[in-house]
Amino acid sequence: MASTNDLKNGMVLNIDGQLWSVVEFQHVKPGKGPAFVRTKLKNVLSGKTVDRTFNAGVKVETATVDRRDMQYLYKDGTDFVFMDSSTYEQLPIPAETVGDAANFLLENQEAVVAMHEGRVLSVELPASVVLEITYTEPGLQGDRSSAGTKPATLETGYEIQVPLFLDNNTKVKVDTRTGDYLGRVS
């Protein structure tokens, strides 16, 4: 149990038997009346987001989420197989649970797998990863970095928009949260 005064972003709460992650919170002390905490909560399993208000100081039940460092090994049918870095135990995770992280996963890549009571909740990648462009149309003479963008296919098969001057076999840094091009890596 924790008080609403102790809420932090990323904390997982157990409300009515469902797991909710705190996306953002704000303590409000109006000039008249009691203080309260305004929160934005995201359902860990469905991804649905709701706004919820709690009275200040009210007890809320927290859920223990075990975050483990794991290494992505390979794809087996629709499952992604991860290995616990400390116990070498292999764990198949369904594609629905992996979600958008699948667009940026390479074999032997490290990831953090969040679990609650033996059930996998999510796969979290670093904020950015370095991937190689496997195919993009050739740039034209005179293309500038600020002139525009073109589609490029990464080694994972995911397609992003990159500046016109980039060519095949170029390593680029990609934001794993948005899928945006962040820069070229030499």
User: CATH no. for residue 99?
Assistant: 2.40.50.140
How much is the pLDDT for 160? 92
120 with 133, same domain?
no
135 with 181, same domain?
yes
36 with 71, same domain?
no
CB hemisphere CA count around 74 (13 angstroms)? 2
84 with 39, same domain?
no
Q: DSSP letters along 10-60, please?
A: T-EEEETTEEEEEEEEEEE--SSS--EEEEEEEETTT--EEEEEEETT-EE
Instruction: Choose the final residue of a domain: 77, 107, 124.
Output: 124
| Cβ atoms of residues 40 and 24 within 8 Å | yes
120 with 70, same domain?
yes
| CATH code (residue 54) | 2.30.30.30
Number of domain units in the chain: 3
Phi-psi region of 90 (alpha: psi -120 to 50; beta: other; left: phi over 0): beta
How much is the pLDDT for 50? 94
Q: pTM for the whole thing?
A: 0.72
Q: DSSP letters along 72-92, please?
A: EEEEETTEEEEEETTT--EEE
Instruction: Choose the final residue of a domain: 83, 103, 124.
Output: 124
> Using alpha carbons only, what angle is made at residue 106 by residues 83 and 136, rounded to the nearest 5 degrees?
170
41 with 82, same domain?
no
| Cα–Cα distance for residue pair 108/24, rounded to 1 Å | 33
Instruction: Choose the final residue of a domain: 124, 151, 172.
Output: 124
Alpha-carbon distances of 29 from 34, 36, 37, 60, rounded to whole Å: 7, 7, 9, 19
Per-residue pLDDT of the chain (186 residues; tens, 9 = 90+): 888 888 888 888 999 888 998 989 999 999 989 999 999 998 887 878 999 999 988 999 998 888 899 999 999 989 999 999 889 999 999 988 888 889 999 899 999 998 988 888 888 888 899 999 999 888 665 555 556 788 899 999 999 988 888 888 999 999 988 889 998 887
79 with 50, same domain?
no
**Structural domain that includes position 86:** 66-124
45 with 70, same domain?
no
